[in-house]
Amino acid sequence: MTTLDLILSRVALTTEAIRDRVTGGAEQVLGKRKPIQAKTVWAVGDFPYPWPSEAAEAEAIRDGEWFPSEVDFAAAMKNSGFSGSSWLTVGSTAAFIALVVRQPKGSIRRLNFVTHGASDEIGLSGTVEPGAVFFTDGLDEAELDGFRVNGILNDDGTVTPWSDVRARFAPDAEIVIYACKAALDAGFLQVLADTFGVTVKAFSTELHYSYPMADLELGIVPRSKLTVDGGSNLTVLKPDVTVKARATAPEE
């Protein structure tokens, strides 16, 4: 036997042995890949508390001149079992997208957005005044389209492509908009669904935020007793409109 034959006979390994040694070594060095933990993300619109005192707020509620503000959105989520660190305030289309892109890829199972809505707009920020709510910013189709086409410009000058934003959502993910009459503009809901590649759910009717009259008569607005459409848990409310992303989404 030649020297070369001797060397080869000593180091010869079967295909199975090579595979087992390589994969086994990789597991030892790299470890097992951890599964992605899908989660629910909560956001609220930026509508600051406007009342000079709790007594003035209670009076406005009794007189039918009241609309909820951020503190009521937060109370609704807290009463639904979520801690104060579980949601973020978003006041612009860019902030809404930033909330999404900060999440790990594939991690968003459901994004719940609690805010004000109208028949033709989903509010992101604004003011609450006696008897009225005014929007200063809303989810904007043109701005969304700009981000979709151009990507997200980062602080270091790099650009995150829109495909990376969509990748933050898990398969079969959904965005649920807890806002009055947000579903009346079905065309815009379709834009949201197609842009993010998810199912979008919303309400075509008003959501009624209520406090016990007995407390209001005493000038008290007890956040822990807030109900929305008669219930204390937002998650049991059933949106009456569902829009699925179309198979052919807009080109990026």
- pLDDT tens, residue by residue, 224-244: 999 999 999 998 999 999 999
- Which pLDDT does position 172 carry in this prediction? 93
140 CB neighbour count, 10 Å cutoff: 17
Lowest-pLDDT choice from 17-31, 77-91, 128-142 = 17-31
Is the model more confident about 62 or about 31?
A: 62
For the chain, give the percent of residues with pLDDT over 70: 83
pLDDT at residue 244 in the model:
96
**Mean pLDDT along residues 165-192:** 93
Q: Average pLDDT, whole number, for the chain? A: 85
DSSP letter at 233 equals -
Cα 206 → chain centroid: 21
User: What's the pTM value of the predicted model, to 2 decimals?
Assistant: 0.81
pLDDT tens digit sequence for 82-98: 776 668 899 999 999 99
Report which DSSP code applies to 205. S
Q: How far is CA 95 from the centre of its chain?
A: 11
> What's the CA gap between 229 and 239, in Å, rounded?
12
What are the residues whose beta carbons fall under 8 Å from the beta carbon of 76, sequence distance 6 or more?
68, 114, 178, 209, 226, 228, 234
